[in-house]
Amino acid sequence: MSKDYPEYDKNTGLWFRRPTPNSIEYQPQFNFCGKSTERTVQPTQEEQRGFCPFRNHHIRCSQRCVMYDGKGCKIAATPAKTDTKGKACMFSSFICAGNCAVYNRGCTWIENFERRIEE
């Protein structure tokens, strides 16, 4: 018997108290174990693809897009020459980083755009 939780529930085997006439509060249970029970969860292939800067920035690159090539965005197939990480994106509220679908060691959209101007 606990001073804070004076009543015993025979069905659950737990001590409880009644803070108000219509409620029951069970005594907290603390279970300590020697090993960590945290598991490492591998991201799915869908989660590994970056967010699209051209659409709502909460939408990931997907098979529904015409620029999707089976692995990700076709724009990001060739790595960029210049790393643009940390700079502001001109298409969305992104800061250029690896979570963007067109990022491949830099903004590949800019690289492709500059190549077309040079041609």
| pLDDT, tens digit only, all 119 positions of the chain | 567 778 888 887 888 888 888 888 888 876 665 554 555 556 566 556 788 887 766 678 888 888 888 878 888 888 888 888 888 887 777 778 888 888 888 888 777 666 666 66
Q: Tell me the per-residue pLDDT of 13-23, one tens digit each, with 9 for 90 and over.
A: 888 888 888 88
User: Is the Cβ–Cβ distance between 50 and 98 less than 8 Å?
Assistant: yes
Q: 16 near 10, Cβ under 8 Å?
A: no
User: To the nearest whole number, what is the mean pLDDT of the chain?
Assistant: 76
